[in-house]
Amino acid sequence: MEVESGITVAEALQQSGMLSAINGSELDQLQVSLWGRKAPLDYVLREQDRVELCRPLRVDPKLARRERFTRQGAKSAGLFSKRRPGAKAGY
């Protein structure tokens, strides 16, 4: 979306119309970021800025990985799970 220079993040979100498609309870949980870094709503956008709306994580990524590893077992998961037969450990 192209906007005029000197516009803030909040004004850009209003112009985009995305906020009207989101209900109020979800809107309170959203985080605004620019290229993956948190940004305040009063930040003045520059050329080529990428505004992102981020939902909160449902599951902690570390916990999900730990549970997945427990389910799969050590032999079928990890960096060296697919070794050639007879190969040294770690290769």
pLDDT of residue 90: 57
Tens digits of per-residue pLDDT, 63-87?
988 888 887 765 665 665 666 777 7
Residues 81, 82, 88: CA angle, nearest 5 degrees:
85
**Is the alpha carbon torsion for 39, 40, 41, 43 positive or negative?**
negative
pLDDT for the residue numbered 9: 86
What per-residue confidence (pLDDT) applies to 78?
Answer: 61
Q: Which of 60, 62, 58, 59 is nearest to 70 (CA)?
A: 62
Does 53 score more than 70 pLDDT?
A: yes
Residue 40 pLDDT: 87
Tokens of 35: 């290229």
Distance (Å) of CA 73 to CA 65, 67, 79, 81: 12, 10, 13, 10
Which tens digits make up the pLDDT trace of 8-28?
888 888 888 877 777 666 767
